[in-house]
Amino acid sequence: MVLDTQFLAATDEGIGQAAAILRAGGLVAMPTETVYGLAGDARNGTAVARIFEAKGRPRFNPLIVHVPDMAMARDMAEFDERAEAVARAFWPGALTLVLPVKASAGLSPLVTAGLPTVAIRMPAHPLAKALLRAFGGPVAAPSANPSGKVSPTTADHVRQGLGGKIEAILDGGACAVGLESTILGLDGSPALLRPGGIPVEELEAMLGAIAVGGPGALPNAPGQLPSHYAPDAPVRLGAVAREGAEIWVGFGPDCAGADLTLSAKGDLVEAAAALFQTLRDADALAGPEGRISFAPVPETGLGRAINDRLRRAAAPRG
């Protein structure tokens, strides 16, 4: 079935229409500060199943539950003192916490994929907050892109990937952070399940050393699969100069002659915000037979999340 996907404006009326679609079990792409999310009622099994169907995502992968406030967060999951402190410091924001799920949360089992934990996030984007408040319940939202493709940071990216498959797109312009949230497992000792918009160094300043992976890590999770965030053209990393006819994407001032740049001044925040748009632009410039290369990005702060996404974009396609 092909739907007539509506663009909803960032107005009270648009937010009201988006909330009504969620209440009716429909799907709305919602802007967040990280990337656009494909939102559905997390307690409605049919709505959640449609999220997987629209993305073409394997069904065993759990989704992030978005909440407007701590009261709803505590209804979903068990917060110990550590989780409370981290939430106070970093929410609303680009951090997802994996915590023991409460049975009384009433979440569709598809959301947690049968795990004893739930991934939960309180986004900071004013439109996401307004929609979550207007809807009044937990919202499941993976990134609003077809599974395996580049994540969307504008409403038009969502339309290109999911137009005709979802009821509406709430247009909030470009996403400020541009990378998915950092996922922190706090169901045991702290574990970094995905690097993202909050640098792990900031979390370690509060929690001490954080292990990468850990018992909560799901090797089969999308975004954790080796090939993900993939443009159509092959991608080469660590490129200090252009080779042949490839589209070379620079970072920092030493990349004169690059076709595109993540950040000419070498700023990691600017590079994160530009990453997914730049992957799309490089893909368009490369064309059907072309190749893309990226200059090295330092493995610190947001550079870790940028390199994580670039390694997946460059991984052999499977």
What DSSP letter does each residue of 204-237 carry, written as one string?
A: HHHHS--EES-TT--TTSTTTSSS-S--SS-EE-
Going from the C-alpha of 317 to that of each of 145, 295, 312, the distances in angstroms are 17, 21, 9
Q: Which is nearer to Mg ion, 61 or 117 (CB)?
A: 61
Q: Which is nearer to Mg ion, 26 or 223 (CB)?
A: 223
Q: Does 34 bind ligand TXA (CB under 6 A)?
A: yes
What number of CA atoms fall less than 13 Å from residue 229's CA on the CB side? 27
Smallest distance, ligand TXA to C-beta of residue 16, A: 21
Q: Out of 26, 62, 92, 178, which residue is the one contacting ligand TXA (CB under 6 A)?
A: 62
Contact range with ligand TXA by CB under 6 A, out of 13-21, 40-48, 109-117, 270-278: 109-117
Q: Which is nearer to Mg ion, 223 or 231 (CB)?
A: 223
Q: Out of 154, 181, 263, 278, which residue is the one contacting ligand TXA (CB under 6 A)?
A: 181
Q: Does 223 bind ligand TXA (CB under 6 A)?
A: yes
Going from the C-alpha of 65 to that of each of 68, 192, 306, the distances in angstroms are 10, 18, 23
Q: Which does 22 bind (CB under 5 to 8 A by kind): ligand TXA, Mg ion, none?
A: none
Q: Does 307 bind ligand TXA (CB under 6 A)?
A: no
Contact range with ligand TXA by CB under 6 A, out of 40-48, 164-172, 176-184, 198-206: 176-184
| Six-digit token string for 246 | 């490839």
Q: Does 180 bind ligand TXA (CB under 6 A)?
A: yes
Q: Which does 8 bind (CB under 5 to 8 A by kind): ligand TXA, Mg ion, none?
A: none
Using CB under 5 A, list all residues that contact Mg ion: 143, 223
For residue 92, say if its preceding peptide bond is cis, omega within 30 degrees of 0: yes
Q: Out of 166, 221, 275, 282, which residue is the one contacting ligand TXA (CB under 6 A)?
A: 221
Q: Does 98 bind ligand TXA (CB under 6 A)?
A: yes
| Six-digit token string for 202 | 């900031």
Q: Which is nearer to Mg ion, 15 or 29 (CB)?
A: 29
CA angle 123, 315, 254 (to 5 degrees): 80
Smallest distance, ligand TXA to C-beta of residue 2, A: 24
CB environment 267-290: b (16+ within 10 A), e (fewer):
ebebbbbbbbbbbbbbbeebeeeb
Smallest distance, ligand TXA to C-beta of residue 8, A: 17
What DSSP letter does each residue of 113-150 carry, written as one string?
A: TT-SEEEEE----HHHHHHHHHH-S-EE--BSS-TTSP
| Token pair 């590079």 in the structure block, residue | 271
Q: Out of 18, 77, 110, 119, which residue is the one contacting ligand TXA (CB under 6 A)?
A: 119
**Radius of gyration of the chain, Cα coordinates, nearest whole angstrom:** 19
User: Which spans of this chain sit near ligand TXA (rule: CB under 6 A)?
Assistant: 32, 34-35, 37, 61-64, 96, 98, 112, 115, 117-119, 121, 141-143, 180-181, 183, 193-194, 216, 218, 221-224
